[in-house]
Chain A
Amino acid sequence: MEKKNGAKELILNGILFENPVFVLVLGTCPTLAVSTTLLGAISMGLAAMVVLICSNAVISLLRKVIPDTVRIPCYIVVIAGFVTLVQMIMHAYLPDLYELLGIYLALITVNCIILGRAEMFANKNSVGKSALDGLGMGLGFTVALTAMATVREVLGNASFFGIAIPFLEPFKIAFLTQPPGGFFVFGVMIALTSFITKGKYPKKKSFSCEGCPSAGVCGSKECAGCSSAPEAQEKGGEA
């Protein structure tokens, strides 16, 4: 896996082919919530990217030290630590953005893109590659949020980065700034991404049960052959 993934592929995967929002359909809650304004969307994307890069790097660094049985609590502590760190720094030096993101900044902790990448990628790959994966996924998340926010703010609110576009005012579709409008734009974006990638992504291995964050606790029959399945872990532990 490591040999196949060059820096360019890792970043391109994150942005397009395995885009966390439009292809892997992760992080839907913050995507719908903060994509009403471009400033909020870009800020959230960048904050999540910083957390993704740092948490991926640290989890990869500790992957041989963290016992399998406590890996999820360890990941959560690392992720929550970095989120709190970003929160403190933003509160001190970027108070306007801190106010703008509000509760969603703290909720990066439970963003499944971050936990998903920790489990799917960082705990199996080197520090460098994990950091690059974080960068790619973070950029993918930012691009996805920006794309959605552009449509929702320009067409829904007749403004761009908060600056009013007077000639669009009579034609604005307020529905797009509401939650149903968010789901509508989200669906259109997923369809568009699928069209661009010709529906070939995600590759099956990305969604195999080994890649599933719940594989360690899943009792599904399909997981029986998976090395992350409880029985396989038990055997590994005994060995």
Chain B
Amino acid sequence: MNSKYLKSIAVLSLICLTIAALLGVVNFITAPVIEQAEIEATNKALAEVRPGADSFTPLTLTDYEGLDATITDIYSDTLGGYVVKLTTAGHQAGLVIMVGIDENGAVSGAKCLASAETYGEEKTYGDKTVGATAETIDSVATVSGVTKTTKAYRNAVKAALDAAIIISAKGGAQ
């Protein structure tokens, strides 16, 4: 009886180890490619949400008080605007969103970089927020059927707009 259990444990463990080793090898090969692709995607998104800006300088989040906890990165650009990157909970696993804010404090572009949501509406919802300011963002309608996801998206854009106000109030990028 004991040998039967031991065999079961040994076989299952061996299969787990083999699969883990195989995944380790594949991860070793794909991880640098994924990392490079993410950097390129970030650069592409920066240019998309702030069209016309030549270069972007990352800001140190700890220099500014009162920023929303969902903000992971902030960049200032050559035109006097900002790009805010946020990771927020959506309906399920969450969204990674990049919001461009122009020198007048209005949204110049918003793009969803990664999503584990099931519906797909988050890919295009950002376009509806273009032109909105901290005062008007609440009037941008959510999408029926995807209310939780689009509400989370809208809140993220609002957090980005608030962040731009906080930075500007402190005299702009430091």
Contact = CB atoms under 8 A, between A and B. Distances in A.
Give the most central of A33, A84, A104, A237: most B CB within 10 Å: A84
Interface residues of B, number: 28
Contacts of B9: 70
Given A93-B33, A102-B117, A237-B4, A62 B26 contact: no
Contacts of B145: 178
Nearest to A62: B15
Interface in A99-157: 99, 102-104
Interface in A57-106: 62, 65-67, 69-70, 73-74, 77-78, 80-81, 84-85, 88-89, 91-93, 95, 99, 102-104
A77 B15 contact: yes
Pairs of residues from A and B, 6 with the lowest C-beta to C-beta distance, nearest first: A81-B19, A92-B30, A92-B33, A70-B8, A67-B8, A88-B30
Nearest to B35: A92
Contacts of A77: 12, 15-16, 19
B19 A102 contact: no
Interface of B: 4, 7-9, 11-12, 15-16, 19, 22-23, 26-27, 29-30, 33-34, 37, 41, 92-93, 114-118, 120, 145
**Contact-residue bracket for chain A:** 20 to 34
Given A84-B23, A85-B23, A66 B118 contact: no
A121 to B, nearest CB: 19
A80 B23 CA distance: 11
A41 B30 CA distance: 25
A91 to B, nearest CB: 5
Contact of A33 (B23, B92, B118): B118
Given A92-B33, A102-B118, A73 B19 contact: no
Q: Interface residues of A: mostly helix, strand, loop or mixed?
A: helix
B115 A99 contact: yes
16 contacts: A66-B11, A67-B7, A70-B12, A74-B12, A78-B15, A81-B23, A85-B26, A88-B26, A88-B34, A89-B26, A92-B33, A92-B37, A93-B33, A99-B114, A103-B116, A178-B145
Contacts of B4: 67, 69, 237
Interface of A: 33, 36, 62, 65-67, 69-70, 73-74, 77-78, 80-81, 84-85, 88-89, 91-93, 95, 99, 102-104, 178, 237
B37 to A, nearest CB: 6
Contacts of B12: 70, 73-74, 77
A162 B9 CA distance: 49
Contact of A65 (B11, B34, B118, B120): B11
A102 B115 contact: yes
Contacts of B19: 77-78, 80-81
